[in-house]
Chains A and B, each alone.
Chain A
């Protein structure tokens, strides 16, 4: 498990991170979401040792991180970075060797991954001759080459076409299944919906949520959606009911007491037909919006 404890960091007078603490459990895909400038990249750079924290620690499985430990991390920075003029395979082998792989192993692993991304045929091509999406795949390959113990990926899905998104998701799932803690940021919340096990939400340098996705969903499943025959305006006046959104016969409400649900249903049926009465399952995007509100 990767663990951040009370991380703070300022640039000049501006404090960017306030007491940031969260965990990336082993074997979990942890989504890291927040608006632009919320502090995602700064946090990730601190995890990777590219920036020093002014306060707080990053620990892996309870131990402090040193440069030696981070050599086993896989990192994909937000601003992609590889050598444009070098052939794909050459730079992958180089980066693999820097991570401590033997050249032959690095070459073999790189080819396996390129194969998986459908890029094996372009291995000898210069990076700059590849499309942006393909360059992105090479970038991911670079992060995965050395079978990292921890993966930190800044916006790994941005710029990928739907097929590449699927390939990326399945690769990430594979690594998670091996027990690797994976932290990745994204602002495409719909992509996270079926992917993340754990969600961390950051706003203005403060962590607003840090929990398993399932638990978050359960906690936010306190709303009901109604579709009635007649106007649903009466729900606004009903004691113990908070009407979150009412338009014509449709309404989204929450109940002060779960017991109230059956009472309201009975009242609705008394007033006419009820076409729909269901607990509302929020998407992660809904939860995110609600939390940062």
Chain B
């Protein structure tokens, strides 16, 4: 006689069946490929530099262009040519030059392009003109320009940082919402289906005469939680590893890593609630077809979560971060801002866990009553009236 507890045997079966399922293996591998691919692609796009050749027709223009070369951002490569006006125009028409800069009077410049002037180039030269003119003005007033720019530089970096952080939050919000939505379907639905399968084929009669129904249910839920969590960790791990190994520097990796850890914990609480719901729905149904009707509300909630994750802002997001299930996505998104005090996620997690407990107890009651019922599909109310 072995001492393996019954729930563990059930859990192992759930995991084994899924891990041997070719469709599951293939879809997991494809997703891993997509994650690595999209990170590599965004790295490549960010790394691509735009090369511009601009001619300066006079000394002030050349000074502006040289200054532009000094302040050009990483993704811009500006080369400067010293050409007289008519020659520059010829080359511009021939397409070997991107633009020509001339001085049209003190403190005034004209940038001439072919069909268009690239926005990046324009804003670079804009900044350069402004800085060169300001420097000249300051030095004519006897002020060392080196004393001032620190102020402007600081404000520019901050502005840039916020924008970057916002786009990071948006990207991560999408990833969190999508991962949760996918897991809830990929691993939640099978709980319902395997409950129905056992009910429909009456295996549950044999199982129930062998082990307690509570153990059977626990084994199923734990098995799918392990699978869901395993896949989530795989995806997050591969994603973070790829981002870390990427040749370019991806900002906020530290924050993302920290919040991802929170997400895993919140994911677990949210998924457990859904697992309980799926199991109860499975027990209420008689055939797989019944599930298509009864799963409507759960799927609606899931789509709602996807939308909240993608679009919720401000107060809505704050409220959502305390609503169980939704908080699995909403709280990690808030945490990405780095402006949430530590007790908020803890409180939200406690709310989620309390709710989780209530749902699981309730789901177990429904499951125990409904799964042995042989007639047609049951409603929630009828199921609760059933006698064991």
- Chain A residues with a Cβ under 8 A of chain B: 45, 48-50, 52, 67, 70-71, 73, 75, 77, 79-84, 86, 94-95, 97-103, 142
Q: Tell whether A70 pairs with B209 under 8 Å between CB atoms, given A81-B204, A83-B203.
A: yes
Give the docked Cα–Cα distance between A100 and B3 (Å). 7
Distance in angstroms between the alpha carbons of A81 and B196 in the assembled complex: 12
Q: In whole angstroms, how far apart are the Cα atoms of A152 and B203 in the complex?
A: 16
B372 touches A50 (CB 8 A): yes
* Contact between A97 and B4, CB atoms less than 8 A apart: yes
A142 / chain B contacts, CB cutoff of 8 Å: 206
- Partner of B2 from the list A67, A86, A102 (CB cut-off 8 Å) is A102
Question: Which residues in B have their C-beta under 8 angstroms from that of A79?
Answer: 202, 205, 374
Q: Size class of B's contact patch?
A: 20 to 34
Residues of B that sit less than 8 Å from A by CB: 1-2, 4, 6, 9-10, 13, 17, 197-198, 201-212, 372, 374, 387-388
B206→A84 contact, CB < 8 A: no
Chain A residues whose C-beta falls within 8 Å of the C-beta of B388 in the assembled complex: 52
Minimum distance in angstroms from A8 CB to a CB of chain B: 14
Instruction: Tell me whether A84 and B201 are in contact (CB under 8 A).
Output: yes
* Interface CB pairs A-B, < 8 A, 30: A49-B208, A50-B205, A70-B209, A70-B210, A71-B210, A71-B211, A75-B205, A75-B206, A77-B202, A77-B206, A79-B205, A79-B374, A81-B198, A81-B203, A81-B204, A81-B205, A81-B206, A82-B203, A83-B198, A83-B203, A84-B201, A94-B13, A95-B206, A97-B2, A98-B10, A98-B207, A99-B210, A100-B4, A102-B1, A102-B2
> In the complex the two chains form, is B209's CB within 8 Å of A73's CB?
yes
A75 touches B203 (CB 8 A): no
How far apart are the CA atoms of A50 and B6 in the complex, in Å? 17
Bound Cα distance A285, B201 (Å):
33
Q: For the complex formed, measure the closest distance between the CB of B365 and the CB atoms of chain A, giving whole angstroms.
A: 15
Chain B nearest CB: distance from A102 CB in Å?
A: 4
Bound complex: CA of A77 vs CA of B210, how far in Å?
A: 12
CA distance A99 to B215 in the complex (A): 13
For the complex of A and B, the 8 pairs showing the least CB-CB separation, nearest first, are A81-B202, A77-B205, A81-B203, A48-B209, A102-B2, A79-B202, A75-B209, A97-B9
Query: Complex formed: what's the CA distance from A95 to B216 in Å?
Result: 12
A101 with B1: in contact, given A52-B388, A94-B13 (CB under 8 Å)? yes
CA distance A52 to B386 in the complex (A): 12
Chain A proximity of B386: nearest CB distance (Å): 11
In the bound complex, residues from chain A placing their C-beta under 8 Å from that of B387 are 52
Residue of A nearest to B203 (CB): A81
Decide: A100 and B202 in contact? CB cutoff 8 A.
no
Contact status B2-A81, CB under 8 Å = no
Question: With A and B bound together, what is the CA distance between A94 and B11 in angstroms?
Answer: 11
Q: Chain B residues near A80 (CB, 8 Å)?
A: 202
Task: Please report the C-alpha to C-alpha distance between residue A84 and residue B198 in the assembled complex, in whole angstroms.
Answer: 10
Kindly provide the distance from the CB of A140 to the nearest chain B CB, expressed in whole angstroms: 12
Q: How far is the CA of A102 from the CA of B1 in the complex (A)?
A: 6
Q: Closest B-chain residue to A77, C-beta based? A: B205
- Distance in angstroms between the alpha carbons of A71 and B3 in the assembled complex: 13
> In the complex, which of the residues B1, B202, B210 contacts A98, with contact meaning CB atoms closer than 8 Å?
B210
Q: Which residues of A contact B210 (CB under 8 A)?
A: 70-71, 75, 95, 98-99
Of B4, B198, B205, B206, most A-chain CB atoms within 10 Å: B206
